[in-house]
C-alpha cells in the first residue's frame, strides 16, 4: 500500500509541480497587497484628520465629478470607518476605476487601482496570465486538484510507522548537508503547511470548476448564490425616461443614518438606491448589512441583515475569507503567507529528491 501511495504521490506531483509553485508564489505575493500598496502610494491611503469634520458629501463627491472627463460619472462612494483614511469614489469607467479624495478639503488625491505587479500576480494566480475563459484557468484548476491529492498522499507517506520516529519526521536538519535539508524541508515542511495548503486548495477550487462549486455548496446544504441585482431606486427609471441627476446630499443623509445604526461598523458604501455596511464579523471579512434607499428623499429600508442572510451568501464570504486568510486578521494572513511559501518549495524539493533517486538507480544499473 505504501509503495502505491508513493507512486501516486509522485505522478500527481510531477506533471503539475511547476504550476503549483507559480500559484503558491503568486498567492503569497497577494497576501499583503493592501499593505504594500499603501506603502507605495501613501497619499491614497492616509489623510490628516486632526479632529476635523468631513465636508458635506455633495461638495466632496460633486468636486470629484467636476474633474472627470466627459462620459465618466460617479458610480458610488465608500466611506471608511477610520477618519484618517480618504474616501474612495468609484467611477463608471473604466471597470473598477476609483479616485481617492480628502473628505476634509475635497482635494482629489489621485486615481487608484491595482499596482501592475499585483495585477500580474493575480492573473498568474488565477489564470496563468490568461483570463477567466482561458485554458490557463483550467490548468490552474487541474493543478490545484492534483496538489490537494498530493498533499493527502504526502501526509500518508509522512506518517511515522514507529512512535520513536516522530521527532525525526518533524525535524528540518540544517547542519547535515544539503540533501538532508531538502528532504527535511519537503517532509517536515510539507507536514507543517499541509492543513493550510489543503484549506487554500479546496476553497480555491470553487473558482475553477462549476461542478466543484455546486458540490461544495451542496456539502453545506445549499446552492451557489446568485449575484445581487440593482437596488432599483427611483433614479433607475423603468419607463424609458432619463434618470434624474444624483442627489449626493441624500447620500449624506443615508451615510449619517447608517453610521448611527452601526457605530462600530466598517466601511459604508453607497450607490444610487443601494448601501452596504461592512461588519466586523469574526471569520467572514465580507460580512455586510444591505439597505435600499430612495435617492430623492434618503428614505431607507433594510434589505438584508447579515445575521439573517441566506446560508449561501454567508458561505460565499466564508470561502473568500478562509481562502485568503483574512478570517483571523493579520496573524492568520502571516501564517497563510508562510504556508504558501512552503507550498511553493514542495514541488521543487520533490523534483530534487526524485532526480537524486533516479541518479542513484542509474549508478546501480551501471
Of 248, 257, 267, 255, which is closest to residue 83 (Cα–Cα)? Answer: 267
| Segment 16-48, tens digit of pLDDT | 999 999 999 999 999 999 999 999 999 999 999
* Last residue within a domain, chosen from 114, 134, 156: 114
Same domain, 105 and 122: no
Q: Residue 133 has what pLDDT? A: 84
Same domain assignment for residues 281 and 351: no
pLDDT score at 254: 94
Same domain, 9 and 136: yes
What backbone phi and psi angles, to 5 degrees, belong to 135? -65, -30
Residues 38 and 309: their CA atoms lie apart, in Å, by 33
Q: 69 lies in a domain? A: yes
Please write the tens of the pLDDT for every residue from 280-320.
877 888 899 999 999 888 899 988 899 998 999 999 999 99
Does a structural domain hold residue 358? yes
Report the number of distinct structural domains present in the chain.
3
Q: Residue 118 pLDDT > 50, yes or no?
A: yes
Residue 58 lies in a domain: yes
Q: Same domain, yes or no, for 29 and 133?
A: yes
Q: Residue 47: which domain range?
A: 42-114
pLDDT of amino acid 283: 80
Q: What is the CATH number of the domain that holds 52?
A: 3.10.450
Residue 229 has pLDDT above 70, yes or no: no
135 with 176, same domain? yes
Domain-embedded: residue 194 = yes
Domain end among 58, 87, 114: 114
Q: Is the pLDDT of residue 151 over 70?
A: yes
Whether 217 and 261 share a structural domain: no
Sorting pLDDT into bands at 50, 70 and 90, what band is 227?
low
Q: Looking at residue 237, what is its pLDDT? A: 42
Indicate if the pLDDT at residue 264 is higher than 50: yes
In a domain, 320, yes or no: no
Question: Within this chain, do residues 334 and 203 fall inside the same structural domain, yes or no?
Answer: yes
Q: How far apart are CA 110 and CA 112, in angstroms?
A: 6
Chain segment 234-248, per-residue pLDDT in tens: 344 434 444 456 789
Looking at the domain assignment, is residue 95 inside a domain? yes
Q: Is the pLDDT of residue 349 over 80?
A: yes
Locus of grid cell 481562502: 323
* Residue 208 and residue 351 share a domain: yes
Q: Is residue 299 part of a domain?
A: yes
Strands of the 300-304 sheet, one edge to the other? 108-112, 98-101, 87-91, 74-79, 268-271, 274-278, 288-293, 300-304
In this structure, are 21 and 144 located in the same domain? yes
Asked whether residue 269 is domain-assigned, the answer is yes
Q: What does pTM read for this prediction?
A: 0.89
Query: Do 57 and 197 lie in a common domain?
Result: no
Amino acid at each position: 500500500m505504501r509503495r502505491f501511495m508513493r507512486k501516486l504521490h509522485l505522478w500527481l506531483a510531477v506533471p503539475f509541480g511547476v504550476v503549483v509553485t507559480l500559484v503558491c508564489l503568486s498567492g503569497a505575493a497577494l497576501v499583503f497587497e493592501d499593505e504594500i500598496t499603501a506603502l507605495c502610494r501613501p497619499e491614497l491611503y492616509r489623510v490628516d484628520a486632526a479632529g476635523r469634520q468631513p465636508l458635506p458629501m455633495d461638495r466632496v463627491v460633486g468636486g470629484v465629478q467636476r474633474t472627470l472627463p466627459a462620459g465618466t460619472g460617479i458610480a458610488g462612494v465608500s466611506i471608511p470607518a477610520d477618519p484618517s483614511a480618504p474616501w474612495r469614489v468609484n467611477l463608471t469607467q473604466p471597470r473598477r476605476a476609483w479616485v481617492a479624495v480628502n473628505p476634509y478639503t475635497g482635494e482629489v488625491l489621485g486615481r487608484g487601482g491595482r499596482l501592475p505587479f499585483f495585477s500580474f500576480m493575480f492573473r498568474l494566480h488565477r489564470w496563468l496570465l490568461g483570463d477567466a475563459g482561458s485554458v490557463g484557468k483550467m490548468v490552474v484548476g487541474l493543478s490545484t486538484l492534483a496538489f490537494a491529492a498530493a498533499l493527502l498522499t504526502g501526509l500518508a507517506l509522512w506518517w511515522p510507522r514507529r512512535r520513536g520516529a516522530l521527532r525525526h519526521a518533524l525535524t528540518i536538519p540544517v547542519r547535515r548537508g544539503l540533501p538532508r535539508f531538502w528532504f527535511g524541508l519537503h517532509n517536515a515542511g510539507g507536514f507543517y503547511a499541509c492543513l493550510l495548503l489543503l484549506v487554500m486548495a479546496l476553497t480555491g477550487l470553487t473558482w475553477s470548476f462549476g461542478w466543484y462549486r455546486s458540490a461544495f455548496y451542496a456539502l453545506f446544504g445549499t446552492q451557489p448564490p446568485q449575484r445581487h441585482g440593482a437596488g432599483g431606486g427611483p433614479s433607475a427609471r423603468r419607463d424609458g425616461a432619463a434618470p434624474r441627476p444624483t442627489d449626493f446630499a441624500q447620500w449624506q443623509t443615508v451615510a449619517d443614518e447608517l453610521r448611527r445604526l452601526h457605530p462600530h461598523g466598517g466601511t459604508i458604501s453607497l450607490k444610487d438606491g443601494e448601501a452596504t455596511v461592512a461588519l466586523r464579523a469574526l471569520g467572514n471579512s465580507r460580512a455586510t448589512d444591505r439597505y435600499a434607499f430612495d435617492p430623492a428623499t434618503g428614505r431607507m429600508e433594510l434589505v438584508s441583515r447579515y445575521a439573517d442572510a441566506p446560508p449561501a451568501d454567508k458561505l460565499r464570504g466564508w470561502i473568500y475569507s478562509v481562502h485568503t486568510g483574512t478570517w483571523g486578521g493579520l496573524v492568520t494572513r502571516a501564517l497563510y503567507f508562510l504556508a504558501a511559501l512552503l507550498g511553493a518549495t514542495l514541488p521543487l524539493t520533490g523534483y530534487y529528491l526524485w532526480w537524486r533517486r533516479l541518479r542513484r538507480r542509474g549508478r546501480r544499473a551501471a
